[in-house]
Amino acid sequence: MATLLSTPASPAITQNPDIRYLGRLLGDVIRAYGGEKLYKQTEYIRSASVDRARGIQGADVTDTGLAALTLDDTLNFTRGFMLFSMLANLAEDRQGVAAEPGADVASVLERLESHGIGKDAVLDLLAHSLIVPVLTAHPTEVRRKSMIDHKNRIADLMHIKDAGRTETDDGENLDEAIFRQIALLWQTRPLRREKLFVQDEIDNVLTYFRDIFLPVLPALYARWERVLGARPQSFLRVGNWIGGDRDGNPFVQAAQLRSALGRGCEAALAFYMDGVHALGAELSLSTELAHVPQAVLDLAEASGDASPSRKDEPYRRAISGIYARLAATCVALTGAQPARPSSLKGEAYGAPQELRRDLVTVAQGLASEGDGALATGGALGRLIRAVETFGFHLATLDMRQNSAVHERVVAELLRQAGVEADYLALDEYARIALLRRELANNRPLGSRFSDYSEETASELAIVHAAAEAHRVYGPQCITHYIISKAESVSDMLEVNILLKEAGLWRAGADGAPPQAAIMAIPLFETIADLEAAPSIMTAYFGLPEIADVVQARGHQEVMIGYSDSNKDGGYITSTWGLYKASQALEPVFAKAGASMQLFHGRGGAVGRGGGSAFAAIQAQPKGSVQGRIRITEQGEVIAAKFGTRDVAMTNLEAMTSATLLASLEPEGISQHDAARFAGAMDELSKNAFAAYRDLVYDTEGFKDFFRQLTPIQEISGLKIGSRPASRTKSSAIEDLRAIPWVFSWAQARVMLPGWYGVGHALAAFEDKALLADMAQSWSFLKSALANLEMVLAKSDLGIAAQYLPLVEDQGQAESFFGRIREGWGLAHDGLLAVTGQSRLLEKSPSLETSIRLRLPYIEPLNLLQVELLKRHRAGEDDPRIKEGIELSINAIATALRNSG
Ligand code: PGA
């Protein structure tokens, strides 16, 4: 039997038998399909790298034969290491590294109980809660869906192995079945050849809804009903940006919005029809044996099902009627017959509530007999929950666009309508006055007879498409409109003006308040905008028509951006700026009489707000959660958190649990401490900001150093998303999107956005005892430091130094790298001192194991990447070089478990 990847070379490897098992099978596959030579080379490089990582003297990875690999060998080798990381991720997820202790609702109820907070308080909170992970198409998922699917099939087979079985359901030998899946993985091309289109992204996200969310959410509620002893309202939803987020993505237009909603509707209805069909088979109760209430008999009668064989089976007849109505709904809403047409004629449902009412009638009928067990548990209860959660639209689709686009479009509309010749020249006061005048009447600015620029025409088309969607699928299909780079009240009023063009904002007649069918939501994403957020929202709420709208709705959302604030001000300043903004916004909302709903725009990597969501939600300032929270889930995080039903249940439950804790658990620190800690954070943030800005924005040449040191240009060529890598042609760091910024630093193992500046701040802070106290007792700092620690542990400046020859000006390279090295040392030493550890991750053994296992697999990939980058940039045009670079990016991202 081959031994690749199974040698007990590292303590971490020996600790996880699944990793050993899967690694051994991967070795067998490489040997069988790649040949003995590749197997031996790979094994040789691997063990040398492991030795080096373990600090074995004389073990130098640069001598391990990497340089001798041919281009073909390099590609195969890289794939092998990537697959190992993929399998290691799988093994780790199975061991529950992803599931955090105490993150299930039952444990949370106990924890709240210990503070005297009972289930009633939890149910009261849930009665007006809204918890929403929102899936976006941010381009950070480097793996093809086919690869992820193979991985998931292996996970399913491993489940069978867990049960102690040696055969699959089909009688196949289990080891052979797993071997075969790995062999398929080995022979599946990891890189996309073709560019992704928005339609591909829509298709991709729909697979998560069909396979995971539609079945999983109702199952979770069933679990929660048991532990709560009551049925909470449906507070958990899954949101979607794909087909609605057009900030910097010119390919998202009205057609894509229509497609996202239309396809979503198809998926929801297909799920309901399958569920109803299955119920028809199940609910065979006969009037001869069961008492059936009149309401069910009426439903059966109305169904038109006159089949003699079902004469005594009113439930089945009622279900046939519901099915017929669903089939008619499908035709009405999607224009297509369902896969399984109905033999009966039914009238289309006008709204999901009507379908729900019929299902509830059936459930109440079942509940009226015996102990009610037939109604509450089981498929019918889950189906009712699904209809409440997913409606006919499947997922609420958010719209998003950049404030600069709205400004231009509104300016053009005003100009063409003869209202204002130069809106862009007006100051903020004049803009607000003008926009309010327009919002006070229902006369649209747009005209069918005007010739608009392409941009304006496209923006108008999309709001009209949104209005049409409201008519077809109901108002829940689009409720949020996010304004990127929001920095003023007029930025929000402009969106209301655009919504008015399609009747989605209506001025109230005769003193009645206006009606806003879609909420305009500012996204504050620079340090300055986060600071200004409370005063901007105060001014917005101060407008009487807005106050009316917000009070009628009862809540308002504000989105806060983690990545861009990090790129702007560095890790700690961003983290603290987000916290302070959330805290300062809370009284503004209270005064306006509206619940605050924060939408956290965060990605997978720490430089983009990544890290444990469970800890991050709990670390929010008290009063800022109030049962309502939305969080983006992006790129590789989607497969990691929702790739299989088990993992999705764990993560959705953790999000819910954290929200309950953040909303209900008393503040863990005294007011006195809160004030002291905030003062200390202000000082840390100020010093970290100064150090970060000085290096990144204020030192001549840093931009070129960054562009040459990291694979930023090559990342832009990856086909991982439909949207272009940058919004503008400018190469300034200010204009770069946050994803490639974070992604490229991660590849070169510097991970600068996750830590730079923190060390300077910690070193300059004199009261070390205060810092230690904060790190111990304050969930905010604990969570921030845990993320910092993870990022420091994944970075490796020894490896990063291998990228230095890529920089043209070596003098400059040395000088910048010297500063980075110094900053890293300060952060490292500062963190250990504050947390009282002698090495990184000393107090986080499972994370330490996970990271240490991976490091030896990443280093050779980095070294190969550097060599390939050198050759590529020197003008060598062998296509295998570019392929190798892209593969290495893929493999490193997989091994680090975060991309950008
Ligand atoms: P954005 O996202 O560029 O779409 O604003 C930033 C991020 O999530 O990192």
List, for residues 447-464, the tens digit of each pLDDT value: 999 999 999 999 999 999
Between helices 571-592 and 562-569, what is the axis angle to 10°? 130
Q: Which residue has the tokens 């747009």?
A: 446
pLDDT value for 223: 95
Q: From CA 315, how far away is CA 296, in angstroms rounded? A: 7
Q: Quick check: 691 and 756 in contact, CB under 8 A?
A: yes
Q: From CA 169, how far away is CA 703, in angstroms rounded? A: 57
**Active-site residue identified among 485, 567, 641, 760:** 567
Element of type H or E holding 556: strand 555-561
CA of 230 to the centre of ligand 1 (A): 39
Mean pLDDT calculated for residue range 764-785: 96
pLDDT value for 64: 63
Mean pLDDT calculated for residue range 823-850: 94
More confident residue, 453 or 60: 453
CA of 484 to the centre of ligand 1 (A): 9
Atom of ligand 1 nearest to the CA of 523: 5
Q: From CA 796, how far away is CA 786, in angstroms rounded? A: 17
Q: Quick check: 574 and 562 in contact, CB under 8 A?
A: yes
Q: Quick check: 201 and 242 in contact, CB under 8 A?
A: yes
Mean pLDDT calculated for residue range 192-221: 95
Among 117, 166, 162, 146, which Cα is nearest to 18's?
162
Band (607; pLDDT cuts 50, 70, 90): confident
Atom of ligand 1 nearest to the CA of 602: 8
Reply yes or no on whether the pLDDT at 275 is more than 80.
yes
CA 234 to chain centre: 21
Q: Is 150 marked active-site?
A: no
Atom of ligand 1 nearest to the CA of 742: 9
Note the pTM of the prediction, 2 decimals.
Answer: 0.94
Reply yes or no on whether the pLDDT at 562 is more than 70.
yes
Q: From CA 387, how far away is CA 353, in angstroms rounded? A: 8
- Take residue 607 and report the two structure tokens written for it: 């430089």
Give the side-chain half-sphere CA count within 13 A for 564.
20
DSSP state of 397: B
Q: Is 719 marked active-site?
A: no
- Take residue 37 and report the two structure tokens written for it: 């030579």
Residue 629 pairs in a beta bridge with 131, 598
Please count the residues of the chain: 900
Q: Which residue has the tokens 């369902």?
A: 338
pLDDT value for 89: 86
Q: Which of 138, 140, 634 to mutate to test the pocket of ligand 1 (most atoms within 8 A of CB)?
A: 138
pLDDT value for 62: 56
Q: What is the 3-state secondary structure (H, E, C) of 715-768?
A: HHCCCCCCCCCCCCCCCCHHHCCHHHHHHHHHHCCCCHHHCCCHHHHHHHCCCH
pLDDT value for 605: 87
Reply yes or no on whether the pLDDT at 579 is more than 60.
yes
Q: Quick check: 190 and 147 in contact, CB under 8 A?
A: yes
CA of 403 to the centre of ligand 1 (A): 15
Q: From CA 585, how far away is CA 562, in angstroms rounded? A: 17
Q: Which long-range contacts (CB under 8 A, 24 or more apart) does 553-556 make?
A: 553/516, 553/519, 553/594, 554/594, 554/595, 555/594, 555/595, 555/596, 555/597, 555/628, 556/519, 556/521, 556/589, 556/592, 556/594, 556/595, 556/596, 556/597
pLDDT value for 836: 96
* Ligand 1 environment, Cβ below 6 A: 138, 247, 484, 563-564, 601, 603, 608, 737-739
Band (14; pLDDT cuts 50, 70, 90): very low
The percentage of residues in the chain with a pLDDT greater than 90, rounded to a whole number, is 81
